[in-house]
Structure 1
Amino acid sequence: MHYLLLIYRNEAELGHMTADDRKKMTGEYGAYTQSIIQSGHFKAGDGLQPTTTATTVRVRDGKILTTDGPFAETREQLAGYYLVDAKDLDTALGLAARIPGARTGSVEVRPVMVYDN
């Protein structure tokens, strides 16, 4: 089954990190990504640009409305994701717990819907 691991963190914390801290974090993510590629769990994943680059789209009464930024004001913002193939929720939770961002932010684990054709 596929699970989406949504990584949330406080964007403001990134601005306060030293270059060495950012380099260390990038290395940790690289190592984690390689480990789930090698284990066969990895399907896709990427980091996201800051919320200042986001645009929210809504359609109301047939009209397209756009708003700069994310949909909701929150302490933590969606920073990236991994799409993984895991045999069950417990395996997906174990993979999520190993994501470096889980130590300072949170990781939401959601099963991907399977549509019958």
Structure 2
Amino acid sequence: MTSVGKYLVMIYDDEAKWDAAEPSVTEQNHKNHQAFAEANGPALRGGGQLDGSTTATSIRSDGSGGYVVTDGTFAETKEVMGGYYIIEAADLDEALAIAKQVPSPMGGVEVRPIINGG
């Protein structure tokens, strides 16, 4: 019996490249995501595009029971998480095969198993 699991596919992009791109590039990327969703519909369990990293708010423990809330992403990097898919796959190999199809022309994707069934 095959054990099916859920995986989070995080899409990382270079926002500066997207900001500099022609509108036709963004439009084509949306079409590519629609085609990805149509081709992989049975495996998709959710997903979405995130607003820009300038809208992020990070929360960190202050080590004494309180929290520090700051504007911005948790880590400052060139590429930030711009969207995600939750997929269902028989194993990591199948999840990677699906994730390789995710349009990410300005970056790449990261795949992680979701524990406890998500």
Aligned mates of 2:38, 2:72 — CA distance in 1: 31
1:5 to 5, 9, 14: 9
Q: How many residues align?
A: 112
Aligned mates of 1:104, 1:93 — CA distance in 2: 19
Q: Which runs of 4+ in 1 moved over 2 A?
A: none
Deviations, residues 13-53 of structure 1 (Å, cap 9, x unaligned): 1111111111111100111112211xx10000001001100
Give the match's secondary structure for 2:75.
coil
User: Any residues of structure 2 matched to 1:26-41 within 5 Å, and which?
Assistant: 26-37=30-41, 40-41=42-43
Aligned mates of 2:58, 2:76 — CA distance in 1: 12
Deviation at residue 65 of structure 1 after TM alignment: 1.3
What are structure 1's unaligned runs of at least 5 residues?
Answer: none
Aligned mates of 1:59, 1:21 — CA distance in 2: 40
TM-score (norm 2): 0.90
CA contact (8 A) 2:17 2:106 kept: no
Aligned mates of 1:107, 1:19 — CA distance in 2: 22
Deviation at residue 59 of structure 1 after TM alignment: 2.5
- What is the alpha-carbon root mean square deviation over aligned residues? 1.2
Counting aligned pairs with the same residue, the percent is 36
User: Any residues of structure 2 matched to 1:26-65 within 5 Å, and which?
Assistant: 26-37=30-41, 40-60=42-62, 61-65=64-68
Aligned mates of 1:33, 1:97 — CA distance in 2: 13
Aligned mates of 2:70, 2:106 — CA distance in 1: 29
